[in-house]
Amino acid sequence: MASDRMEAGTITITSRKGDEIEAYHARPMEATGYPSVVVIHHMPGYDSSTKEIARRFASRGYGAVMPNLFHRYAPGASSGDAAAAARAAGGVPDAQCLDDVAGAMAFLKAQPGANGKVGVIGYCSGGRQSYLSACHLELDAAVDCYGGGVVATPDQLTPERPVAVIDMTKDLRCPMLGLFGVNDASPSPEHVAKMEEELTKHHKSFEFHSYEGAGHAFFWVERPSYHAEASRDGWHRIWDFYGEHLAG
């Protein structure tokens, strides 16, 4: 029987631009040739729920790193205070997010036991950032969990997020899995249909699943939005997808 021992905790990683930021690292302790995943947290921040997701990946034999995208706004603060500080500052710029995800990728690839394949997964605002990352970085697979704002109207663009992510689709560099709730308002089923249309137009490899009865944040346990059936099936889809694209 394979060992299920893991190691997890907060570390410091170096962003692509050289900034040191906080990150949560979880990895299997006795595996070799394991695949890796960058986990992008949701808008509420670098919290215990998303750390639990990173550990879940480690429990399945993946190395996982969750960069704290809000670290610069409030070093050493609680996840809630950091999320509030980041929001007050206008939110995380897309360029900065890409630097942090790139830094996390480099860290994961440098681990002695890693097989060199790196995927990305993000939830909520992190779903949008996962899509964004997959259009700019050399990732091997991307998962967008109900990322709102991929489809954006001109009035929703800001200096921090100046380009609608859907307009980057032609540059998507890896297969994508999208998991959505039919009852979600952002992304709504209409938004998801537009994403499918754009991905198809550019001949991208993708697989979308939309769950009846589920809304936004259906993976978020201990919250009213949690949806057991969607979450259970979604995790199966993730394991199958990463199993296919991140194997050594």
Partner 1 sequence: MCTYLTSTEKVAGTGLGAQGWFAIEEAVVYFDHPQEALVEHALCIDFRAGSRADPSERVAVELDAGSARRLAESILATLAHDEVKALGVD
Which residues are near partner 1 by CB under 8 A? 42-45, 47, 73-74, 77-78, 80-85, 87-91, 124-125, 148-149, 156, 158, 161, 184-187, 215-217, 223-225
What is the CA angle 98-102-108, rounded to 5?
Answer: 145
Nearest distance from residue 55's CB to partner 1, in Å?
A: 20
Closer CB to partner 1, 63 or 148, in the complex: 148
Closest alpha carbon to 26 in 61, 1, 2, 76: 61
Longest dimension (CA), the chain: 55
Closer CB to partner 1, 38 or 83, in the complex: 83
Closer CB to partner 1, 109 or 160, in the complex: 160
Q: Is 169 left (phi over 0), alpha (psi -120 to 50) or beta?
A: alpha
Nearest distance from residue 87's CB to partner 1, in Å?
A: 6
List, in sequence order, the alpha helices (H) in 17-138: 48-59, 79-88, 94-109, 125-134
Nearest distance from residue 188's CB to partner 1, in Å?
A: 8
Residue type, 176: M
Query: Which residues are catalytic, by number?
Result: 124, 184, 216
